[in-house]
Amino acid sequence: MPQETPERRLKRKKGRKGLKRQLPEIDNLLIESIYKMSFDLKLRLECDHRVYWEFAILAEDLQSLRLQRALGSTLRLQVRASGNLIPPSDYTVVAEPLTVPTNAYRMIYFNEKRRATDDYWEVSYQTIRENCPKCAALEVLDDIQYDTQGRLKRNRDENLLLQNLEKFTVTELGSNIFQTFVGTRLVTLLGEKYSDPNYVQSKIIQEINNSLRRFSDLQNQYESTGRTVTNGEILEVINNIEITQDENDPTIVRALVEATARSGQSIQFTQLMRKVA
> Can you give the residue ranges of every domain in the chain?
1-34, 50-131, 156-274
Query: In this structure, how many other beta carbons lie within 10 angstroms of the beta carbon of residue 134?
Result: 15
pLDDT at 257 over 50: yes
| The model's pTM | 0.49
Amino acid 208: pLDDT: 92
CB atoms within 10 A of CB 128: 16
Looking at residue 128, its pLDDT comes to 83
- DSSP-derived letter for residue 58 is B
242-251: Cβ within 8 A, 24+ apart? 243/201, 243/204, 243/205, 245/197, 246/272, 250/275, 251/275, 251/277
Band (22; pLDDT cuts 50, 70, 90) = very low
Number of alpha carbons in the 13 Å side-chain half-sphere of residue 263: 15
pLDDT surpassing 90 at residue 151: no
Q: How many CB atoms are closer than 10 A to CB 21?
A: 11
What is the DSSP pairing of strand 104-110 with strand 91-96? Answer: antiparallel
Which pLDDT belongs to residue 17? Answer: 45
| 156-274 topology per CATH | Nuclear Transport Factor 2; Chain: A, (3.10.450)
Could you give the percent of the chain with pLDDT greater than 70? 71
What torsion do the CA atoms of 226, 231, 233, 237 make, to the nearest 10 degrees?
110
Q: What is the pLDDT of residues 190-241, one digit of tens each?
A: 777 767 778 888 888 999 999 999 999 988 888 888 888 889 999 999 999 9
- The whole-number average pLDDT for the span 247-255 is 76
> Picking from 142-146, 154-158, 187-191, which range would have the lowest pLDDT averaged per residue?
142-146
Which stretch of 46-50, 99-103, 118-122, 149-153 has the lowest confidence by average pLDDT?
99-103
- Which pLDDT band holds residue 27 (cuts at 50, 70, 90)? very low
Most confident of 14-23, 94-103, 222-231: 222-231
Query: Does 277 have pLDDT greater than 60?
Result: no
Is 173 a residue whose pLDDT tops 80? Answer: yes
Q: What pLDDT shows up at residue 16?
A: 45
Predicted confidence band of residue 140 (pLDDT cuts 50, 70, 90)? low
For position 143, what pLDDT does the model report? 52
pLDDT confidence of residue 189: 77
Which residues are CB-contacts of 225 (< 8 A; sequence separation ≥ 6)? none
Q: Which of 77-81, 104-108, 125-129 has the highest mean pLDDT?
A: 77-81
